[in-house]
Amino acid sequence: MVSKKDKGRPLAWLVALSGALVVFLSGAYLVYGKVATQNLDGLVYSQQPSGQSLGEALGPTTLEDLQGPASFNLAEVGGLAGPTPSTLGLYPGPLMPFNSWVEPWLASAPPTDDSEFVRGFLPAPKELLSGVGMLPAATRIWIPSIEVDATVKGLAIRELENSREYETPDQVVGHIPTTGNPGEAGRGWYFGHLETPLRNEGSVFRDLPRIPGLLRQGERVLIVLESSTGNYLYEVYATNVVYKTELRVTDSGESEITLVTCIPALVYDYRLVVTARLVGVRPPV
């Protein structure tokens, strides 16, 4: 005859083993989080853009002197009044490699892996950029170096019990609607998930942490935003890591975009911030 004491032993062992497993997993998670956080410095990269525009570097020239396609007037596409042709500078998009549009004095042969991707783009002169909220929002984003091709959607505001917050992007890259749109003189902010194992909202930016390494290897990381007014070409010049409560949506007054995702994997208490500047525009076909 089995006593009640003997019957309870398997259950006691099961409870003890379950408790030990929970303690072990919790400890392992804490160790992983600490190690992963210590390695985040490698995701910080900065190469400040030159303050001189292509027009300033080449000097003023009227459209009558051009022997090629004229600059793309962003203001006119947006239904706005832009500068007159006589005030425009020379922006010879096809006449030099795209990677020299901002710093033409460093002109060299265009890289073969980017030449097809940038075909048809013209430099985007600052004089023709529109104010924030005047041009259509982006509908799609491409980052060829990390194989991103995703839909862009404006994030709505959710009403909470005592506060408000933007919704999280679901299978898309989310744009904060109050920030700059493509072709505007303001910074646009775009958010995407690194991964969502529980909520199943996609992992659009799962390879965003690869960008700092690519930049250190000397590769140019290009981003294209598509809207109804054309395609807008951006080049990444800086990446940074900030704690989740220290992230601030700011506006530099320049035509830039900032991409944000949560890091490190399985911890998500920091934010990887990738910033790029507008370097070219391709009119709609």
Does 62 lie in the same domain as 74? yes
pLDDT of residue 160: 75
Residues 33, 140, single domain; the answer is: no
Based on the domain organization, do 267 and 240 belong to the same domain?
yes
Q: Which residues contact 250 (CB under 8 A, 6 or more apart)?
A: 187
Residues 33, 78 within the same domain: no
Is residue 191 scored above 70 in pLDDT? yes
- Provide the pLDDT for residue 109: 42
User: Are 183 and 229 contacting, i.e. CB atoms less than 8 angstroms apart?
Assistant: yes
For 125, the domain range is 44-282
When computed from its CA atoms, the radius of gyration of the chain, rounded to whole angstroms, is: 25
- pLDDT tens digits, 240-281: 999 999 999 999 889 999 999 999 988 889 999 999 999 999
What is the 3 state secondary structure string of 104-122? HHHCCCCCHHHHCCCCCCE
- Whether residues 73 and 27 share a domain: the answer is no
Quote the pLDDT of residue 60: 37
Pair of tokens at residue 103: 């710093």
**Residues 129/131/134/138 CA torsion (nearest 10 deg):** 60
In angstroms, rounded to a whole number, what is the distance separating the alpha carbons of residues 231 and 20?
56
Check residues 94 and 166 and name the one with the higher pLDDT. 166
- The closest alpha carbon to 223, from 251, 191, 259, belongs to 259
Q: With a cut of 90, say whether residue 10 has pLDDT above it.
A: no
Find the CATH number of the domain harbouring 205: 2.40.260.10
CB 65 within 8 A of CB 90: yes
pLDDT at 23: 62
pTM of the model: 0.70
Give percent of the chain with pLDDT exceeding 70: 63
- Cα of first residue to Cα of last residue in the chain, in angstroms, is 87
**Same domain membership, residue 211 and residue 86:** yes
pLDDT tens digits, residue range 136-163? Answer: 999 999 999 999 999 999 999 887 777 7
163 plus 204 within the same structural domain: yes
- What's residue 70's pLDDT? 37
Could you tell me if 193 and 115 lie in one domain?
yes
DSSP symbol at 52: -
Residues 184 and 79 in one domain: yes
CA dist., res. 73 & res. 222, Å (int): 22
**Number of folded domains in the chain?**
2
Considering the domain architecture, whether residues 213 and 91 belong to the same structural domain is answered as yes
> Quick one: 30 and 100 in the same domain?
no
Are 30 and 129 members of one domain? no
